Amino acid sequence: MKKDVIVTGGAGFIGANIVSALKGKGLNIHIFDNFSTGNKNNLNLNEVNLYKIDLKDDFRKWPKINASTFYHFAANADVRGGLYNHEIDLNENLLVTKNCCDYAINNKIKNFVFASSATVYGEPDIYPTSEECIFNQTSLYGASKISCEAFIQAYSNYGYFKSTIFRFVSWIGKGYSHGVIYDFVEKLLKDQNSLEILGNGKQIKSYLDVRDGVRGVLDISELHNQKSCVFNLGHDETMNVIKLADIVCDEMNLEKVEYKFTGGSRGWIGDSPFVHLDTKRAKEYGWFPKIKIEDGIRETVRYLMFNKSRRFR
Ligand SMILES: NC(=O)c1ccc[n+]([C@@H]2O[C@H](COP(=O)([O-])OP(=O)(O)OC[C@H]3O[C@@H](n4cnc5c(N)ncnc54)[C@H](O)[C@@H]3O)[C@@H](O)[C@H]2O)c1
C-alpha cells in the first residue's frame, strides 16, 4: 500500500519541487496550502490531494490523515516583510508551525521535517557558519524561524516525533518565484539600460540549486536517526551581488547595463551582508551540492524568461 505524506506550502516554490520528487517515490501526497503565495499551476493536480487550508486556523478542523511524514514548508518566506509588519512572522511562521506540530502529534505522525533558514544566524562572527555558531538575530523572520526550531525540538524531546530541521541558503532553479534573481529580471524587463541594486552590491551570498536542495532534504531526513537534528544546506561557493547581476545581464543578452546602487553594505535593514554556511554535517550523510552557482543562476534566468508571461505582471 502507498504511504501517505503531508506537504504544507506544497504549492510554493520549494514545496512544489519537494512534491514532485516525492511523487517519484510513489507516495500518496496531501498538500495543505492557502495559496497566499503558492499557485496551483506549480502542481500536477491529478497526482496530488490538495486542501485549501489556512494553517493559522484550528488544526483540529484539518483533514485527518494517517501520514508517515509531515513536511512543513508553508511560511512567510519574505525576510523583509517583518520590518514593516511586526505580526507576519509571529503568525505565519511561529503560530503556523506550532499548529503543524500539534496536528502531527494528534495524528500520530512520527517524522517532522522543517524548512528553516540561514537567516537564523543573523550576522555571525564565523564563516563558513556551522550549526553550533552563536546567533545574533537581525530580523523578525530569523527570530521566528529560530523560535519554530525551538518548538519543534522541544516536541521531539517530549518523544512525539523525530524531527529534521534544515537551515537553507537562498534556493534557485525551476519554479523560482522570489528573490534577487527575480527582482533583477523583473527590473531588466522594464528597463534594459539600467539596474537598481540594493546596497553596494558587495554583499556575498551562497545559493543552492533546487535539485541539490530537494535531494538533501529527502535523503538526510530519512538517513539520520537522532530525535532532532539541525542541518545547514548551502553551497561551498559564494558570489557577490555585482557578479550575480553580471551573469543575469549576460544571460538576458544585455550589454552596458548601468548599475545604480542604493548604497550601504546591506540591501535592507535586516539583510545579512555575508551568508556562507558550513555544510560538513550534511556531507557526513553523503550529500554535497553538484550544481555550480553560476550554472544555477543561468538556468533560473532561462526559466523566468521562458515563463515570463506567467511569472511577471
Ligand atoms: N526560497 C528560499 O530561498 C528559502 C530560503 C530559506 C528558507 N526558506 C523556507 O522554505 C520554505 C518554502 O519557501 P518558498 O521559497 O517555497 O516560499 P513560497 O512563498 O514560494 O511558498 C510558501 C508556501 O506556503 C503557503 N502558505 C503561506 N502561509 C500559509 C498559511 N498560513 N497556510 C497555508 N499555506 C500557507 C503559500 O501559499 C506558499 O504555497 C519557507 O518556510 C521558507 O521560509 C526558503
The alpha carbon of 285 and the centre of ligand 1 are apart by a number of angstroms equal to 26
The confidence band for 20, taking pLDDT boundaries of 50, 70 and 90, is: very high
User: In 3D, which of 220, 233, 213, 222 has the Cα closest to residue 275?
Assistant: 233
Query: What is the secondary structure of 63-125 as a DSSP string?
Result: PP---SEEEE--S---TTGGGT-TTHHIIIIIIHHHHHHHHHHHTT--EEEEEEEGGGGBS-S
One-character DSSP codes across 130-188:
PTTSPPB--SHHHHHHHHHHHHHHHHHHTTS-EEEEEEE-EEESTT--SSHHHHHHHHH
Q: Ligand 1: which of 7, 18, 34 to mutate, most ligand atoms within 8 Å of CB?
A: 34
Nearest CA to ligand 1 atom 28: 75
Residue whose CA lies nearest to ligand 1 atom number 11:
73
Residue 11: which pLDDT band, with cuts at 50, 70 and 90? very high
| H/E stretch holding 39 | none
Mean pLDDT of 74-92: 95
- How far, in Å, is the centroid of ligand 1 from the Cα of 255? 34
Q: pLDDT (tens digit, 9 = 90+) per residue, 115-158?
A: 999 999 999 999 999 999 988 899 999 999 999 999 999 999 99
Cα 258 to Cα 192, 198, 247: the distances in Å are 9, 14, 14
pTM, two decimals, is 0.97
**CA-CA-CA-CA torsion for 82, 10, 70, 147, nearest 10 degrees?**
-10
CB 260 within 8 A of CB 179: no
Cβ atoms of 178 and 78 within 8 Å: the answer is: yes
Backbone Cα Rg of the chain:
19
How far apart CA 207 and CA 209 sit, in angstroms, is 7
Q: Which of 6, 2, 275 is nearest to 161 (CA)?
A: 6
Distance 194 CA to ligand 1 centre (A): 31
Q: Which of 14, 152, 166, 212 to mutate to test the pocket of ligand 1 (most atoms within 8 A of CB)?
A: 14
Q: What's the pLDDT score for residue 45? A: 80
Tell me the pLDDT tens digit for each residue of 100-127.
Answer: 999 999 999 999 999 999 999 999 999 9
Whether residue 1 has pLDDT greater than 80: no
Q: What atom of ligand 1 comes closest to residue 145's alpha carbon?
A: 43
Q: Best of 20, 31, 33 to mutate for ligand 1, by most ligand atoms within 8 A of CB?
A: 33
Q: What pLDDT is stored for residue 16 in this prediction?
A: 97
Average pLDDT, the chain: 96
Closest CA to 184 of 195, 200, 170: 195
Helix axes 293-306, 180-190, angle to 10 degrees: 50
pLDDT at position 310, please?
A: 78
Q: Select from 7, 13, 41, 149 the residue to mutate for testing ligand 1; criterion: most ligand atoms less than 8 Å from CB.
A: 13
For ligand 1, which residues put their CB under 6 angstroms from it? 9, 11-15, 33-38, 53-56, 73-75, 77, 92, 96, 115, 117, 168, 170-171, 177
Ligand 1 atom nearest residue 39's Cα: 39
Interval 230-246: pLDDT, tens: 999 999 999 999 999 99
Q: Which domains does the chain have, with CATH numbers?
A: 4-171+208-233 (3.40.50.720), 175-206+237-274+290-311 (3.90.25.10)
Q: What is the mean pLDDT of residues 11-23?
A: 97
The number of the ligand 1 atom at minimal distance from the alpha carbon of 96 is 31
Q: Which pLDDT score, from 0 to 100, does residue 236 have?
A: 97
pLDDT digit string, tens, across residues 267-290 = 888 889 999 999 999 999 999 999
Pairing of strands 204-205, 239-240: antiparallel
User: Please, are residues 272 and 121 in contact by the beta-carbon 8 Å criterion?
Assistant: yes
- Ligand 1 atom, smallest distance to 55 CA: 32
Q: Which grid cell is 308?
A: 515570463
Q: What is the pLDDT of residue 268?
A: 86
Q: What is the pLDDT of residue 47?
A: 86
pLDDT of residue 197: 97
- Nearest CA, atom 34, ligand 1: 33
What pLDDT was estimated at residue 44? 84
Share of the chain above pLDDT 70, in %: 100
pLDDT of residue 312: 82
Residue type, 253: N
The Cβ of residue 267 has, within 10 Å, a number of other Cβ atoms equal to 22
pLDDT in tens, 196-221: 999 999 999 999 999 999 999 999 99
Cα–ligand 1 centroid distance for 208 (angstroms): 16
What spacing in Å lies between the alpha carbon of 110 and ligand 1's midpoint? 22
* pLDDT for residue 64: 97
The answer, yes or no, to whether residue 313 has pLDDT greater than 80, is no
